[in-house]
Structure formats: C-alpha cells, structure tokens
C-alpha cells in the first residue's frame, strides 16, 4: 500500500493510475524512438546503452515480438533518470518545430519562384525591395533561363537553380533564433 502521512493526509507516492499513465508515456516515447532513423537518433540525447534496444525494436517485424521488445525498451527507458527523458522529449519537440520552419521556408522560396516566373519584372522589383543586397542581374538571368527552359520543354536546370538562389537569399535574410 502507498500509505498516507498521518499529519497532512497526503499520499507518500503517486497513485497506481498515475504510475500507469507515466509508464504509458514512456512506452509511447519508446515507440517514437523506434520509428526514427539512425541520423535522427544521432541528433537526440539518447544514452548509448539504449541504442541497441532501439535498433532491435526497429528490426523486429512480428507484431507480438515487436510489442514485447517495445515493452522491454520502455522498461530500459524507465531506468533512466527523469532529466534524460525530459531532454529526449524536448529534442523531439524541437525537431518538430524545426521541420515546420523548414517546410515554411521551402514554401516561401517556391512562392517567390512562381511569382518571379509569372509576374516578371514587377515581382523582381518587389523581391529586391525586400532584399536590397540581392544580385539583380543574376536573378533576372535565372528567371529568363527558366522561362526559356519551360518554353522549349527542356530539363529544369535554371528552374532549380533559381529555387536554390532564392532559398539562399531568403535564408541569409531571415532572423536566426
């Protein structure tokens, strides 16, 4: 039994329901870690002792065996201190936010590329107003080459080069966090 403090009436330890909720959270964390690639795992503060268990859970394809391995991984995770688990969860959350920022940057560059290809000089003037340090001549040449490629049904080399130039321009001018 958990017991109560006779003076205050508070419980000495978490309830069984609370312990179960915490165990299920750790199990969900283990499942998330098992779905990540080696490169993504390398960016997380995962202790070296847990990596073989994560790789083993990833390797197993049988449903029941995988479930058993994930339960074992969760058991190993529960042996880690709470700070380690918080660091892993925080890194996973940060990774999600970074991925959203990356996608937004790609969409901005694509939008500018389409705007430059459809509106021409007006869009280039607007881009240069926002980014005065941009190379006007290089951007104009890339737009001209991309339109020429599109007209001739050629492979999109300049189209891609325009995207890379816009991406570099937008990344250089965006404020760093």
Render pLDDT for 47-57 as a digit per residue (tens, 0 to 9).
999 999 999 99
- What's residue 8's pLDDT? 84
Q: Between 98 and 152, name the one with better pLDDT.
A: 152
pLDDT, averaged across the chain? 88
Residues 73 and 111 reside in one and the same domain: no
pLDDT at 176 over 70: no
Contact 32, 92 (CB under 8 A): yes
- What's residue 177's pLDDT? 45
Render pLDDT for 56-115 as a digit per residue (tens, 0 to 9).
999 999 999 999 999 999 999 999 999 999 888 888 876 666 667 778 889 999 999 999
Q: Between 136 and 2, name the one with better pLDDT.
A: 136
Model pTM score: 0.52
Average pLDDT over residues 116-143: 91
Asked if the structure places residue 86 within a domain, the reply is no
- What's residue 173's pLDDT? 75
Render pLDDT for 5-20 as a digit per residue (tens, 0 to 9).
788 878 778 888 988 9
| φ, ψ (nearest 5 deg) of residue 62 | -65, 135
The set of residues, in sequence order, having a beta carbon less than 8 Å from that of 114 and lying 6+ positions away, is none
Burial (CB count within 10 angstroms: exposed 0-12, middle 13-18, buried 19+), residue 151: exposed
Whole-number Cα distances in Å, 89 to 28, 96, 105, 152, 161: 11, 11, 25, 51, 37
Taking each helix axis from N to C end, the angle separating 82-119 and 157-173, rounded to the nearest 10 degrees, works out to 120
- What's residue 47's pLDDT? 93
pLDDT at 138 over 90: yes
Residues 110 and 162 reside in one and the same domain: yes
- What's residue 49's pLDDT? 93
Asked if the structure places residue 92 within a domain, the reply is no
**Quick one: tokens of 1?**
């039994």
Domain that holds residue 152: 101-173
Residues 108 and 156 reside in one and the same domain: yes
Q: How many domains does the chain have?
A: 2
Query: What is the CATH classification number for the domain harbouring 167?
Result: 1.10.60.30
């Amino acid at each position: 039994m958990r017991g109560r403090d006779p003076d205050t009436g508070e419980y000495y330890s978490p309830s069984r329901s609370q312990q179960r909720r915490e165990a299920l959270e750790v199990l969900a964390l283990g499942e998330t870690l098992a779905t990540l690639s080696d490169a993504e795992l390398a960016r997380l503060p995962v202790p070296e002792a847990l990596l073989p268990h994560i790789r083993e859970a990833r390797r197993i394809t049988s449903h029941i065996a995988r479930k058993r391995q994930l339960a074992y991984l969760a058991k190993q995770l529960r042996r880690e201190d709470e700070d380690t688990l918080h660091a892993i969860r925080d890194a996973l959350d940060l990774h999600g936010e970074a991925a959203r920022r990356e996608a937004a940057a790609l969409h901005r560059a694509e939008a500018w590329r389409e705007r430059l290809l459809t509106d021409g000089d007006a869009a280039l003037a607007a881009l240069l107003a926002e980014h005065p340090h941009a190379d006007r001549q290089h951007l104009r040449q890339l737009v001209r080459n991309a339109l020429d490629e599109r007209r001739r049904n050629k492979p999109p080399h300049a189209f891609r080069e325009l995207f890379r130039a816009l991406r570099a321009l937008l990344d250089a001018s965006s404020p760093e966090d």
